[in-house]
Structure 1
Amino acid sequence: MKKKVVAGFMAATMMVSVMTTGVFAKDLDPTDETQRSGDTTVTATVEENPNKADYIIRIPETVDFGKIKQPETEGDAYSYKDITVECVKAENLEAGTGIAVLVKDATATGNTDPFLLTHNTNKDCALTYEIMYNDASIQNGTWYDNGFLFNVFMKAGQSATDQLRLNRNQLYNKDLSTWGGAYTGTLNFYTRVRNVSAQ
């Protein structure tokens, strides 16, 4: 912190020095015909969007379903895991706007692409899962360029918890010597400021 303050003071001192030098850079001398007039360049810098939204969204580094058991009978058999996203900082948001958090699987390019967990050594083995909000898959919602809407935050301190839902029925009757082992997937999160009334 001390270094930053010192660096800031030095920069401010240099700026004042340059400005002072610029003011007295040329003398006009009425006794010399060639120096009776002169030009001064006037400059300014307009700060670009000083009220630009400033925010921090915190996403989890890892979400682990843990050990998934193969079901003994055919039919839906769900495993769930919570996933929480937090708004740590939200400043300079214009009235009527919020921070939209979008999410998609790293491999997805459209709304029909699933969230995937792929076997770490046998890439032919993959499990799909869903992200559930209020007991409904977010994939039932609108697909945007960067994924499905996870949540919209209006201020710092807000958080949203959805659920990852994996149907273990995908493992029913599968050969565990092939399908057993560790699986990994990646979620891509994307943020943008948007009008909260926008659909």
Structure 2
Amino acid sequence: MTGDEASTVRDRIERSALMKADSLNHTYNQHFLAANFYRWLNRFLDTVLFAASLLLVSQALWTVWPAWTTFATPGLMAIITGYRRAAKPDQRSERFRKSANRHHVLFDEFRDFLVVSLPDGSKSNTEIQDRFDELADQRRELNIDSPDASSIWYYWIKYLRGEEKLQEQISTTPEMRKAIIGRTWEQADEGLD
């Protein structure tokens, strides 16, 4: 294999590893957001249940609220309790947080691979390819075992931020590439020439 071919192999590996690292970055950010959403949802539901309990106690002791609150408050509490039992937002929060942490660790491994291992001239292309394949397999397995937040994220971007933001969110930006490998994509492209 000539020097140009070896350079091309490493450049292709770098581009693919960079896209995978960026994908991991988006996924762990998305999972942290989902974990925080479910944590705050759980706290909100706890607060509503607490307030409803206080309302019910004050109604029973002082009868200062209208009579319909005696029936509506336990009904609201039953609905919220049923939802919490079915949806388990506290468990979802924990699952997303664990997934986000695992994605973040793998992102760090990809970044180390891009910044340390890939530029290391003492490693053969076969060693580099094997390490990349190992990281790619870990990413594939992690994605299979991860909770799905993509539909939440997709609707958030499409309907609340606008459809034009969707492409911006799923593409690897020059700023992100620079942050991951410490140089601009144009500088990386210059190495290909």
TM norm structure 1: 0.28
Which structure has the highest strand share of the two? 1
Which structure has the highest helix share of the two? 2
TM norm structure 2: 0.29
- The structure with higher relative contact order (CA 8 Å, sep 6+) is 2
